[in-house]
Amino acid sequence: MAEKFDFLQTKEVKDFNQELEKYDLGPLWEAIPELMHHRPKPQAEAYLWKGEVLQKKLMEAANIFTPERGGERRAIYLQNPGLKYRQPWGWASTTQTLYAAVQLLLPGEKAPSHRHWQNAQRFVTHGEGAYTIVQGQRIFMKEGSFLITPGGLWHGHEHVGDKPMIWMDILDIPMVYSIGGTFFDHYPDLLEQPSLPDDFGSQRYEGGVVRPISDRHSHIAPVGCYRWEGTLAAIEGLSRFEPDPYDGYAVEYYNPSNGETANPTMATWMQKLPKGFHTKAHRHTHAVIYNVFKGSGYSVIDGVKFEWTEGDYFVIPNWALHEHVAYEDTFLFSTSDLPIMEKFNLERSEALDTGNGRQEIKSEFKPKTL
């Protein structure tokens, strides 16, 4: 039933379709071929946003949205052009399921505490000295920190340092909006006050593959912040051996109390591509949002070349063939909806088996620039 038949173009059929619509009914023969594709055909497109555009727009926003004027979070999200048709506001979709944004917090500013059942996480790309307070624990951020606030946890921010801070936010907003289960509460006060030691979670995990005995049963966010030093050391250890042909030297942030991904609906990875490394091409059901944390290079996505430099953001949609090339030692931070695909038994992958596993480049993507 995944194709349309010629007969469906006749006036008889079209008239009948319109008749159905009057009764709030729909014709399977029209809809199913467009909704049940033979292979995943996301509406999300492969896309790339330049880091300097984001930085410039955030700085402009800083002039408009000041604490006095009421903005709670000064963030600009990455709107996938293919998903603008989702109304309202494109469901703030960067991929089919995930939202990504870039947030600016200036010295002295506060972002009030709240909680929601969307899972949230942050990756710090610039600055240091601000903290997030999550369930009474202040977590100080700096470049390379990865922070999680799974659904239901109170969280707010304050910048007690002296230079602007920029981080990336990723949430499962579109997915939760799509299924219809959102809850949101403001904290009674502006900012929750500390009730735990600062950086409690990450300090409890400074060593080997051991966990405090109180973390031996599954619970959310035993580690609230995964520090760059540890992530880098892990990648360096891994780099003594053979790289993964598709992802180089890649690690996943996980929850030590249950072995699941750090955040339940998102898989978050840091990967190193050494200078000159050229991955093989493959595709998979899950879609990925990247930040070029360090380095430069390009990706080929379904035959289109996407050049990227430090600070850029890009998206690989579901089932798009992709490969990466690094011009210099490169670190890519990424978040995908792999756990969502796995929960629904929808994860599939496929390697390109022609051209030595590399795609032919057919065109080049032109990102919007200032």
To the nearest whole angstrom, how small is the minimum distance from the Cβ of residue 296 to a copy of itself? Answer: 21
Residue 274 Cβ, how far from a copy of itself at the closest point, in Å? 16
Distance in Å, CB of 308 to a copy of itself, minimum = 16
Q: Which of 102, 98, 37 is nearest to 315 (CA)?
A: 98
Cβ proximity to a copy of itself, 12 vs 360, nearer residue: 12
Decide: helix, strand or coil at residue 66: coil
Q: Are 187 and 115 in contact (CB under 8 A)?
A: yes
Q: Which is nearer to a copy of itself, 60 or 162 (CB)?
A: 60
Neighbours of 206 (CB within 10 A): 9
Given a contact cutoff of 8 angstroms between Cβ atoms, the answer to whether 180 and 118 are in contact is no
Question: Can you read off the two tokens belonging to residue 363?
Answer: 């065109």
The alpha carbon torsion through 342, 46, 120, 230 (nearest 10 deg) reads 80
The structure tokens 């990865």 sit at 146
92/304 with CB nearer a copy of itself: 92
Min. distance of Cβ 213 from a copy of itself in angstroms?
5
Sign of CA dihedral 176, 178, 181, 185: positive
| Contact assessment for residue 110 and residue 157, using Cβ atoms and an 8 Å cutoff | yes
Question: Taking the complex as a whole, how short is the minimal distance between the CB of residue 118 and a copy of itself, in angstroms?
Answer: 7
Radius of gyration of the chain (CA): 22
CB of 247 to a copy of itself, least distance (A): 6
Q: How far is the CB of 222 from a copy of itself (least distance, A)?
A: 9
Nearer to a copy of itself, 4 or 162 (CB): 4
Q: Which residue lies nearer to a copy of itself by CB, 344 or 360?
A: 344
Is residue 201 within 8 A of residue 139, CB to CB? The reply is: yes
152 Rama sector, left if φ>0, alpha if ψ -120 to 50, beta otherwise = left
Measured from the CB atom, is 211 or 358 closer to a copy of itself? 211
DSSP string, 110-168: EEEEEEESS-EEEEEEE-EEEEEEETTEEEEEETT-EEEE-TT--EEEEE-SSS-EEEE
State the minimum distance, in angstroms, from the CB of residue 330 to a copy of itself: 16
Q: Report the residue number, 81 or 355, with the smaller CB distance to a copy of itself.
A: 81
Beta carbon of residue 359, minimum distance to a copy of itself (angstroms, whole number): 21
CA-nearest of 103, 96, 72, 80 to 177 is 96
* Residues counted in the chain: 370
* Nearest CB to a copy of itself, comparing residues 37 and 362: 37
Taking the least distance from each CB to a copy of itself, the nearer of 188 and 207 is 207
Distance CA 319, CA 40 (A): 6
Task: Look up residue 46 and give its two tokens.
Answer: 């492969």
